[in-house]
Structure 1
């Protein structure tokens, strides 16, 4: 059995690859239905469908350069069913810190919320 921290890091690497390939629809399984995302500018996006549509809209922009999220630490709750991923993100000339909350649902780690803070750019 793969350790939860390794599984979450692998899921994050895959989301980075899907963003680089501009595959918005393939990001859907990585989010809970009621996922919440606070973007680097403070905007709130509610629900997996809205998050995926936001990615799709960005992918259609000619100057979109992508995002890369690099996990630093991953902490698990005592039950091993929730985790906090803290790291750094970059996107073109912008960068900052992020926190993602993962939840294990039917054996798979999915994102229930993310907070991005723009610190440069």
Structure 2
């Protein structure tokens, strides 16, 4: 399960990054669990639920100077006893290709109906 989970989660993360770059809310929705929780990096705002997160992304996509976020996984650890995994990596936010913020993150994933979805993410702003 570990190799399969690792590849599937990396592919889902790549799809999420593409959706963020393209401002594609419809592609983001299926990658999020219904009760997903995100804790942002700088102000530790808690965004709870798929609908709330999609609304937050919609606001981000409408910004005049839109920040494009990219997450790069460093490691993914799959549980041998449950359909869950933890992703650790680095993130950055750029405006017009210029990095404005960056840091580290962790994300918890769960396989539901054969698809990996994000249950929780927490971000740390380092620069």
Q: TM-score, normalised by structure 1?
A: 0.95
Which residue of structure 1 lines up, in the alignment, with residue 11 of structure 2? 10
Which residue of structure 1 lines up, in the alignment, with residue 97 of structure 2? none
Which residue of structure 2 lines up, in the alignment, with residue 105 of structure 1? 112
Shift of the alpha carbon at 1:80? 4.9
Write the distance in 2 (CA, Å) between the matches of 1:116 and 1:25: 23
Count of matched residue pairs: 120
Runs of 4+ in 1 over 2 A off after TM superposition: none
Give the 3-state SS of the residue equivalent to 1:49 in structure 2.
helix
Which residue of structure 1 lines up, in the alignment, with residue 31 of structure 2? 30
Write the distance in 2 (CA, Å) between the matches of 1:17 and 1:78: 29
**Pick from 50, 53, 67: which aligns with 1:51?**
53
Give the 3-state SS of the residue equivalent to 1:97 in structure 2.
strand
CA RMSD of aligned residues (A): 1.3
Shift of the alpha carbon at 1:38? 0.2
| 8 Å Cα contact 2:76/2:86 also seen in 1 | yes
Q: TM-score, normalised by structure 2?
A: 0.90
User: Aligned ranges for residues 109-120 of structure 1 at < 5 Å?
Assistant: 109-120=116-127
Shift of the alpha carbon at 1:67? 0.4
Shift of the alpha carbon at 1:106? 0.6
Q: In 2 relative to 1, CA 80–6 (structure 1 residues): closer, same or farther, beyond 3 Å?
A: farther
Which residue of structure 2 lines up, in the alignment, with residue 39 of structure 1? 40
Q: Which moved more, 1:101-110 or 1:75-84?
A: 75-84
Give the 3-state SS of the residue equivalent to 1:63 in structure 2.
coil
Name stretches of at least 5 consecutive residues in structure 1 with no aligned partner. Answer: none
